[in-house]
A and B are shown apart, each in its own frame.
Chain A
Amino acid sequence: MIARLFATLRGLLGRRRIEGEIDEELRDHLEREIEAHRSRGVAAEEARRLALRDLGGLAQTTESTRAVRATWLDTVSRDIGYAARVLRRSPIFATVAVLSLALGIGANAAIFQLVDAVRLRSLPVPNAHELVDVRPSGTQAFGTYEGVNSRATYPLWEQIRTHQTAFTGMFAWGDIRLLIGRGAAARRADGLWVSGDFFRVLGVTAVRGRLIEASDDYRGCAGGSAIISHAFWQRHFGGADAAIGSTLTIFDRPVTVIGVTDASFTGLEVGRSFEIALPVCAAAAGPRRDEDVVTALDRRDHWWLTVMGRLKPDWTIERASEQMRAISPGILQATQPSGYPAALMQAYRNITFSAFPAAQGVSQVRDAHDRSLLMLLGLTGLVLLITCGNLATLMLARAGAREREMAIRVAIGASRPRIAAQLVIESLLVAGAGAVLALPMALVSARALVGFLDVADNPVTLTLGVDWRLVTFVGGIAVLTTVLFGLLPALRVSTVDPIVAMRQASRGLTADPRHALFQRALVVGQIAVSLVLVMAALLFVRTFRNLATVDLGFEPSGLVAISFLDLASQALPVEQRVVFQRRLTEEMRSIPGIVAAASSSKIPMQRGVWSHFFTVPDADASQKAARFTYVGPGYFETMGIRRLAGRAFTDRDDSAGRPVLIVNESFVRAHLRQRNPIGATVRRLAEPGYPETLFEIVGVVANIKYEDFRDESCWCDGPDGMPPIAYVPLAQDPNPFPWASIVVRTDVSIAALTDAIIRRVGRLNPAITVGIMDVAEQLQDRLSPERMVAWLAGAFGVLAVVLVTVGLYGIIAYRAVSRRNEIGIRLSLGATRTHIVLLVLRDSLLLLTIGLAIGLPLTSATLRGAEALLFGLSPTDVPMLVAAAVLLAASAAAAGSVPAWRAARTQPDIALRSE
């Protein structure tokens, strides 16, 4: 056995050599034979003739000896050559098959690339599997947050670092949107706060200069140095060495570039890349309210950091988690914020930290799109399945047509497994060509898909490219499809009986009922699967429509949000900020084309939540939480929010006036049940910067969507949906932000206003950088991922219908033609044309009915997992199911009608004569 294996191997490796040696060996034989003859006195010519005769001819013997040496590899390469010739002879079949597979595989590969990029790939740092994310598992819903990756305060980070024993090194980091440059020339940049050990523990290296080190990160650091990413270096400095030591203006302060990171490192968040990294200690001097004597480093209620570490080699995640849980109470005791209600502090002390694997970094993109990407991958898989079904039908038809060829080959001695192998190789060749074409297609379309996710408001950058996972995936799919569409036809053909095939071939058609049954089962399966796809298409298109037309409670079109991005106005003392905002608002109102303007602490449907705790003294003592928005006079008119009762805010609602509130309907329903809202009181609980205040409700407005198109939690007993919101006059904010936004409503084009707005703001203060946003456009951008899913699902649905219609048509037409005799007899016996049409259509209807019967449970089982992605309808929405079924029924009728019509026009005499 082993010896045989070695011989085969040797045969494989030394083919060329062996062939040469066989020639040599036989020549040697001839020479010896000739010599032997000569020594017996035979003449030279004669000796040579005898020797050649006895050998049976040199060429023949060489060939037959070589044949012994031939291995399966030779056989396969011969088969591939044969298959290629066969495919070249039917170019239309080959093109259709290869292209449809390329489309199917390409779609799968494109989605797979995204899945790979957001959830499979590890961070490009050494030993990424050792990275661990330490985050609190309890709630920390108080204080202020920088973003989604804000899981720890600076004091908590210091405590964790001091008390942990699980990690060889730890680091903390946070996101920040930086402002580079000054005034109108300023631009935004994605920044990172990094602790001193960040780069060292991660194992990131510098391509120029040096990276931030532990010695750069100390309390009171001037924060004058920055690291830039490789991409930013290329973009901003053209990759010049002079970048090191040059100065950037960040938030109006000079900062020196000291190093450039390696190109592969783009940050710890997949889907987003950093441009500039600053030492975390510099946040003490970063953007803050000037009143705060406590800096970001000391604030115990400011959550802005993510804490991560590298696990010790002999530690497991569970053990690290246990250690984190064990040290949590002490850490939280030591970092308790002051100025908050006691109940909140109890909740704070109950927080526990745990460890989570972080080899793949953190990702908002992953969290947001994981589910839809997997769902899309499932849908593309189904499309490929239907494609394979059609190809299998096509292959079977071809196999039928080639029965004669196969019969001849069987008759002259080809073994059945050889013929089957030959056909499988043909299929593999088709699938392989499809896969090769699919790869570039996948690369292009994956990029296009990222374009859908990457919108101005929420930039997404993903590293896409060909890696071993993609190649394996595509290769695997190619083999799988070959099995699906090539194996059965191959088996069928190899069981052909040469005598039967030859006899039937003369009649041009072979109607083996077994094969017809198989083909019909195939179409039934395709109908069932396409019901899933059509249903998914309807659901996602409908979901997108529902989201796009959802009642937001305000009118986004013609609404412009103006935000002031820099700190130039920060120097204003609190009492002057309100005055400044009022002047800005008036300045805006005076611009021709602007019909209303108002300032506000929050623009609805922008990310970010501002909330306070409160009680309703007339009801009970229980503490509640709701979203609070600080707005100037004219806010509701500007936004187009309907007023339902009471009054609006006026200029007299200022710090000198009585504290007043306007609440929305949800607030009334959730917190003021049974009570007349007007005149009811709400007590806002004290927290740092916000003393306890008793408000009187003076008005009620309609609900709006606050942050999300979908339902938001109301933080109350009531149903989720539009959340309760309390509005406070901006002038009664004890601690107004220096960078509050202004919303304006315009009846002219927004683009035309931009210059006027910038000019007017510049007149007030030339140092102010203005950000102008078309609210309606931004909302559209936010729905871009849903639009992508709707488009793709819709396209897959259409594709499924087309493929199934074609498949059905093939089967029905084939059946109708093979029943030509029967139809001819029926017609001559007096059947009407209508009878014949119904006869053929019945066939189509039967397949459809069985397909739908299988498809219905399949659909509800498959799409149940997509429930969370839908909006405003359930995965088993009955009208949608009916619509999907009707759509398929219509396509089945269309597929059946042409053959039916043709069958009905059969001339009985011709049909019978042709037999």
Chain B
Amino acid sequence: MNKTQLLQGTLDLLILRILDLGPNHGWGISSRLQQISQDGLKTSQGSLYPALHRLEMRGEVRSEMTTSENNRRARVYTITRTGRKRLNQETETWEAFALSMRRVLEEGQ
């Protein structure tokens, strides 16, 4: 199977989903994303960071500079209540969409 191009607009949803599992930093989110989707979804790391900051500006995640192991400073993101609400909404929308898509595609066979 070809690596699916990440559908535009779904990046936010994926980030929120991963952060729903627990706070993480940018690199962590990126590697987790590949892990979960078994490398099926390849995000451009270049668009990950703007997306993270945009989410923070919208108040859906918040972040903190932390000093982690071997004295490395890293920004750790946490999902907020607003973010969780959006995640739930978008997941529903997405599932409904996916369901419809599948029906249409199976019908067509």
Contact = CB atoms under 8 A, between A and B. Distances in A.
A54 B46 CA distance: 7
A29 interface: yes
B45 A55 contact: yes
A26 B58 contact: no
Nearest to A71: B57
A3 B49 contact: no
Contacts of B57: 4, 7-8, 11, 68-69
A7 B54 CA distance: 10
A28 B73 CA distance: 7
Contacts of B49: 22, 25-26, 29, 61, 64-65
B44 A29 contact: no
Given A4-B58, A56-B46, A64-B46, A24 B27 contact: no
- Size band of the A side of the interface? 20 to 34
A32 B27 contact: yes
Interface string A415-428: 00000000000000
B82 A55 contact: no
A67 interface: yes
B17 interface: no
Nearest to B73: A24
A68 B46 CA distance: 13
A36 interface: yes
B58 A25 contact: no
Contacts, number: 76
A33 interface: yes
Interface in A803-844: none
Contacts of B30: 29
B46 A7 contact: no
B36 interface: no
A29 B73 contact: no
A26 B46 CA distance: 10
Contacts of A61: 45-46, 49-50
Nearest to A33: B27
A215 to B, nearest CB: 70
Interface in A16-75: 21-22, 24-26, 28-29, 31-33, 36, 54-57, 60-61, 64-65, 67-69
A68 B50 contact: yes
A21 to B, nearest CB: 6
B27 A69 contact: no
A65 B57 CA distance: 12
Given A7-B56, A25-B74, A68-B54, A36 B46 contact: no
A468 interface: no
B50 A67 contact: yes
A28 B27 contact: yes
Interface in B71-85: 72-75, 80, 82
Contact of B26 (A7, A25, A64, A68): A25
Interface string B52-91: 0110111100000100000011110000101000000000
Chain A's interface: helix, strand, loop or mixed, by majority? helix
B32 interface: no
Interface in B1-33: 25-27, 30-31
A33 to B, nearest CB: 6
A6 B82 CA distance: 14
A609 B50 CA distance: 85
A29 B45 contact: yes
B45 A56 contact: yes
A4 B59 contact: yes
Interface in A469-498: none
Contacts of B54: 68
Contacts of A2: 59
Contact of A28 (B31, B74, B80): B74
B58 A21 contact: no
Nearest to B26: A29
A327 B54 CA distance: 75
Contacts of B73: 24, 28
Contacts of A56: 44-47
B31 A36 contact: yes
A65 B50 contact: yes
Contacts of B65: 21, 24
B27 A7 contact: no
B27 A65 contact: no
Contacts of A25: 25-26, 49, 74-75
A21 B76 CA distance: 12
A3 B59 contact: yes
B53 A68 contact: yes
A278 B22 CA distance: 84
A26 B50 CA distance: 11
Given A21-B75, A54-B45, A29 B56 contact: no
A31 B45 contact: no
B46 A28 contact: no
A7 B59 CA distance: 7
A344 to B, nearest CB: 82
Contacts of A31: 72
Contacts of A26: 26, 49
Nearest to A3: B59
A55 B46 CA distance: 5
B75 to A, nearest CB: 5
A347 to B, nearest CB: 78
A32 B27 CA distance: 7
Contact of A6 (B45, B50, B53, B59): B59
Contacts of A69: 53, 57
Nearest to B75: A25
Contacts of A7: 56-59
A904 B30 CA distance: 76
Contacts of A11: 57
B96 to A, nearest CB: 27
A56 B58 CA distance: 24
B46 A57 contact: yes
Contacts of B46: 54-57, 60-61, 64
A33 B75 CA distance: 15
Contacts of B47: 56, 64
A36 B35 CA distance: 13
Contacts of A4: 57-59
A64 B50 contact: yes
Given A33-B27, A56-B45, A69-B57, A3 B82 contact: yes
**Minimum-distance CB pairs A-B, first 3:** A56-B46, A3-B59, A32-B27
18 contacts: A7-B57, A21-B65, A24-B73, A24-B75, A25-B26, A28-B25, A28-B26, A28-B27, A28-B72, A29-B26, A29-B27, A55-B46, A60-B46, A64-B46, A64-B47, A64-B49, A65-B50, A69-B53
Given A4-B57, A33-B45, A56-B44, 9 more contacts: A3-B59, A7-B56, A28-B26, A28-B73, A29-B45, A33-B27, A61-B50, A65-B50, A69-B53
